[in-house]
Structure 1
Amino acid sequence: MRVKVIGVIAILLVVIGASCQSDDQIEFKRYYSAGSFVYQQHCQNCHGDKGQGLSALIPPLTDSTYLKNNKTALACFVKNGLKGKITVAGRAFDDEMQADDIAPLEIAKVLTYITNSFGNKMGTVTLQQVQDDLKNCK
């Protein structure tokens, strides 16, 4: 009987704790968890399960400086691919990243996951940000 009461109290505490989250925190968690799934489907095969990349062929996603410096171009990289030489984490890469025709909402979710995983902490990438960034792709 005592175990049941403790179990009920524990569940109530979890529910109360979850209800105290702000709308931004809830949106972040939704985007992040859905982005993990998109990453597994579209990115992990090349960039690795821990964002480590592949030797000298595919850059890692662990360089938060590169991600921050290119924040407004990341959606374009996902949507249109990337060609040409780039330097990530002090190493040069000159292979081609293929375009991936996924919806802007999926791009926002996967970028939220990438920019908050592998040692990165950049917050939620919203659908509106992605739509704005995609308008400015070169």
Structure 2
Amino acid sequence: MRYFVVIALLLTGLCALYACQNEQEIEFKRYFSAGQLVYQTRCQNCHGNEGQGLAALIPPLNDAEFLRNNHSQLVCYLQNGLKGDIIIHNSTYNGHMPASGLSPIETAQVITYVQNSFGNQIGLYDLKQAEADLKKCK
């Protein structure tokens, strides 16, 4: 009987800890999981299942420095496509990425996923940021 009470208390405690996630953590998880699905269906074919890219043709997505330095431009790359040279891990890529056709929320979700996968840990990129950055696209 005592064993049952201890287990019940432990389970109750674990449930309470899980329920104590703050709204920001929950929002991050929502964006991340939805972004993973977008990535798998729209990006993975070219950038690879581990974000490794494709040889000298398609850049990898595991350069956190590039992602941080181009944080507000990422949404523009996805919405409008990307032409011209970019440098990732000291390698130059000069391909053409077509416009994604993603909605702003899907774009924010996939950016959150990429910025927190493949060795990156940059944090949440939400719809509000995506909409603000989209207004600045050239």
Determine if the TM-score, normalized by the shorter chain, exceeds 0.5.
yes
Match of 1:118 in 2: 118
Once superposed, which parts of structure 1, at least 4 consecutive aligned residues long, lie more than 4 Å away?
1-11
Superposed CA RMSD in Å reads: 1.7
Match of 2:129 in 1: 129
Structure 1 residue runs without a partner (length 5+): none
Match of 1:106 in 2: 106
Match of 2:36 in 1: 36
Shift of the alpha carbon at 1:17?
Answer: 1.6
Match of 1:23 in 2: 23
Give the whole-Å Cα distance in 1 for the aligned partners of 2:10 and 2:42: 38
Q: Which amino acid aligns with 2:130?
A: V
Shift of the alpha carbon at 1:15?
Answer: 2.1
State the TM-score, normalized to the length of structure 2. 0.92
Shift of the alpha carbon at 1:7?
Answer: 6.5
Match of 1:91 in 2: 91
Shift of the alpha carbon at 1:102?
Answer: 0.9
Shift of the alpha carbon at 1:14?
Answer: 3.5
Shift of the alpha carbon at 1:19?
Answer: 1.1
State the TM-score, normalized to the length of structure 1. 0.92
Match of 1:73 in 2: 73
SS, match of residue 72 in structure 2: helix
Give the whole-Å Cα distance in 2 for the aligned partners of 1:124 and 1:17: 22
Per-residue CA deviation, residues 12-71 of structure 1 (Å, 9 max, x unaligned), is: 334212211111011001111111111101111100011000000000000001000000
- Aligned pair count reads 138
Give the whole-Å Cα distance in 2 for the aligned partners of 1:123 and 1:78: 18
